[in-house]
Copies of this chain bind each other. A is one copy, B any other.
């Protein structure tokens, strides 16, 4: 183990640095405004290293979307202690609380890499649109599992489907990010998350069913 730590492994490290630099820069200034030169400077790697790993800015952006999905799976669906709450509705509400609590500090720190990218690239790059869709879909399908379990336990109003509600959670988060950017204030985004939480509680309406 120590041996592997002391050996230099520049290639995987440079690749990951490029992915993280792309995510950081796109979240801060969008996709079109971000150049390969800036990404290399941000990652502290050469342009030669860039093109060793990626054929183009678009290819890096696709890899960064996939890494973004993995990051969400870890940071939002696996690591936090509340992900182990047994009751699926309480877990869903804790999910929304967690997303609201993340909305703090500069917007580029809590907003969505793929949501920012697809906003401007949906019509110009089918490749980036699909990569963004895959990431948003993976998040929504994972969240829908919890919602499905909550519906099985408590029922839900109007026959709302788990996946439809999961996508709505995504929509509210993505839209809340835009308000936070426009107002340069994350408080407005947390307010939308509070509306979303109220909606979910009313949809499940446990008080009347228990």
B-contacting residues of A (Cβ < 8 Å)?
28-33, 106-108, 114-116, 118-124, 129, 132-133, 136-137, 157-158, 160, 164-165, 167-168, 170-176, 178-179, 181-184, 188-189, 191-192, 195, 198-199, 202-203
What residue in chain B is nearest A158 (Cβ atoms)? Answer: B198
B residues within 8 A CB of A122?
107, 181-182, 184
What residue in chain B is nearest A132 (Cβ atoms)? Answer: B182
B residues within 8 A CB of A129?
181-182, 184
Instruction: Report A39 CB to chain B, min CB distance, Å.
Output: 15
B residues within 8 A CB of A184?
122, 129, 133
Instruction: Report A115 CB to chain B, min CB distance, Å.
Output: 5
B residues within 8 A CB of A164?
191, 195
The contact sample of 22 A-B pairs, CB cut-off 8 A, is A28-B124, A29-B123, A107-B123, A114-B182, A115-B182, A116-B119, A119-B178, A119-B181, A122-B182, A122-B184, A129-B181, A132-B182, A133-B182, A136-B179, A164-B191, A167-B191, A168-B195, A170-B179, A171-B179, A173-B175, A174-B174, A198-B199
